[in-house]
Amino acid sequence: MEFTGLHSTSLPNNEPSLFDSPAERYVKARQSVQRFTLVQLGLAIFSKENSDKYVVHSYNFFLFPSTLGIRDVEFTVSASSIQFLSHYGFDYNKFLKDGIPYMNEVQEEILRQHLLADTWKVCSTNVDRDVLKKVIDEVTSWIVAAKEEDTMILQDLNVSKAFFLCVIGYHMIEVQLVLRQALENVWTEPLEDKKVMVKKVSPEHRRLLENSSDDHCQKKLILLSARGFTNLFQILVKVKKPLVGHNMLMDLMHLHDKFYRPLPESYEEFKRNIHNLFPVIIDTKTVTKSVQKKCLFPRVSSLMEAYAVLCSNLNPKGPPCPVISLASGCSRYGIRNLLMRLAMMHFSVVQFFLCQLICYCADPQMMWWRLSLLSRSISPC
């Protein structure tokens, strides 16, 4: 995961310390997680092809807080984090313009109540405001001469291509909602090839259309679109597969805060919630520390340092690790490319590889027993 910041320095006594207890570290991290937001999330899904081979499908998601029907989300950025992301080629335009929306359960409930009461609104739009204003002006001019049931296709308007680039998925709904709110005597429907059909209707006909199950902007679809990436998060929670990461405390806290519920004040409650969401959590940094106690393994901290040691002559020869094969279309997330681009790409592939390699070197017969044991605790360091 990548964030707009790690540790907030503007808060008093918020600097992490090696002498912090897990609960103290959590309290400090909680304040930072509440101030910063997620910008990118990498996900690698592994399937077992046979006894010694896994196939991995890797995905990279740009995320941006939902702006549909809820109070604007505010977040902080730190100069060092923005500089770090920029140095490794982070695409800020994709983050800001095409980031997938998300919300937690509290934000979802607020939007649901507003939808039921018909008091919701589009609090901001990802479509360029000048372009959208031009579209509204064009439709308004067309309505004057149009008769009821006349239609127009937005692609015929002389507007910037930027508008049509936005009229897909979540933005398709957002554009239609803005038009419907601005003009009471129109109806909109999405068409293929990023087109939107606009129809002039009477108030009575519009009310009938609004209550129709065929409406592409009906409330349940608005809610589904506003939830965005949260829909995938809930699927991951439902399937209860092992979750593998490296130095995962901040990652898990962001998952909890952004997609589940605001972080609780209690560290114990946070741990209960996380283990209810993901019963098996494997932190490769914790696994590495465990191996250091049993084997002649150098003290390393970062994911790439651990990977380098395991691939070096310092690693004693042992049983072969399972083969990890990248699925078609995922080659840019391979370990060779990761080493070239370092921080910004798919560490999730390396994390799983590292987990397999460490555990096989330590004791291949006891690998999954140890992982189950290690998954019961979350190291704050």
Q: What's residue 123's pLDDT?
A: 55
For residue 240, what pLDDT band results from cuts at 50, 70 and 90?
very high
Tokens of 259: 């997609």
pLDDT mean over 225-251: 91
pLDDT higher at 220 or 1: 1
Pairwise CA distance, residues 287 & 291, whole Å: 6
Among the listed ranges 131-145, 184-198, 324-338, which one has the minimum average pLDDT value?
324-338
pLDDT higher at 115 or 278: 278
User: Cα angle vertex 354, ends 304, 375, to 5°?
Assistant: 115
Domain positions in the chain: 2-103+228-281, 109-225, 283-374
- pLDDT, tens only, 250-299: 999 999 999 999 999 999 999 999 999 999 998 888 888 877 777 767 77
Q: What's residue 368's pLDDT?
A: 34
Pairwise CA distance, residues 129 & 182, whole Å: 13
* DSSP per position, 110-174: HHHHHHHHT---B---SS-HHHHHHHHHHHHHHHHHPPTT-EEEGGGS---HHHHHH-STHHHHH
pLDDT higher at 9 or 267: 267
- pLDDT, tens only, 63-104: 998 876 656 788 999 999 999 999 988 999 999 888 999 999
Please provide residue 165's backbone torsions phi and psi, each rounded to the nearest 5 degrees.
Answer: -65, -25
Give the CA count within 13 Å in the CB-facing half-sphere of 79. Answer: 2
- pLDDT, tens only, 18-49: 888 999 999 999 999 999 999 999 888 888 88
Q: What's residue 170's pLDDT?
A: 55
For residue 316, what pLDDT band results from cuts at 50, 70 and 90?
low
pLDDT higher at 102 or 366: 102
Q: What's residue 377's pLDDT?
A: 36
Among 314, 280, 295, 302, CA closest to 354: 302
pLDDT higher at 251 or 138: 251
pLDDT higher at 151 or 216: 151
Tokens of 321: 């690790």
pLDDT at 363 over 50: no
Q: Which CATH class is domain 2-103+228-281?
A: alpha beta
Distances from the Cα of 293 to the Cα of 271, 282, 299, 307, angstroms: 25, 18, 10, 18
For the chain, give the percent of residues with pLDDT over 90.
30
Q: What's residue 328's pLDDT?
A: 80
pLDDT at 237 over 90: yes
* Mean pLDDT of the chain, nearest integer: 77
Q: What's residue 4's pLDDT?
A: 93
pLDDT higher at 347 or 140: 140
Among the listed ranges 105-109, 196-200, 208-212, 364-368, which one has the minimum average pLDDT value?
364-368
**Exposed (0-12), middle (13-18) or buried (19+): which is 303, by Cβ within 10 Å?**
buried
Torsional sign, CA 123, 90, 30, 283 = positive
User: Cα angle vertex 281, ends 279, 283, to 5°?
Assistant: 170
Q: What's residue 375's pLDDT?
A: 37
pLDDT at 358 over 60: no
For residue 344, what pLDDT band results from cuts at 50, 70 and 90?
very low
- pLDDT, tens only, 144-200: 899 999 999 886 433 333 333 333 455 667 678 778 888 889 998 888 766 788 999
Q: What's residue 129's pLDDT?
A: 67
